Amino acid sequence: MEHDLSDVRFLTVAEVADMMRVSNMTVYRLVHSGELPAVRFGRSFRIPESAVVAAIETPNFQVG
């Protein structure tokens, strides 16, 4: 199975936090819980922009 990554834009944790208007720690929690897919490069993570857009557009309300 071959993947073309030329169209994928990867964002840093700080960029994702800015887009989602949350802290960097919240982004790390989302990555570690598996709610936000990420690729690890050395000691840092990169998150596909499409995954961030999907997470923002999908309402996930928790009441209680």
Quote the CA–CA distance of 30 and 4 in Å, as a whole number: 25
Contact 49/5 with Cβ under 8 angstroms? no
pTM of full prediction above 0.85: no
pLDDT digits (tens, 9 = 90+) for 8-18: 899 999 999 99
Please choose, from the candidates 17, 20, 18, 41, the residue with its C-alpha nearest in 3D space to the C-alpha of residue 28: 17
pLDDT digits (tens, 9 = 90+) for 3-53: 666 788 999 999 999 999 999 999 999 999 999 999 999 999 999 999 999
- What Å distances lie between residue 1 and 4, 25, 47, CA to CA? 10, 34, 21
Write down all domains in the chain, each with its CATH number in brackets.
Answer: 5-57 (1.10.1660)
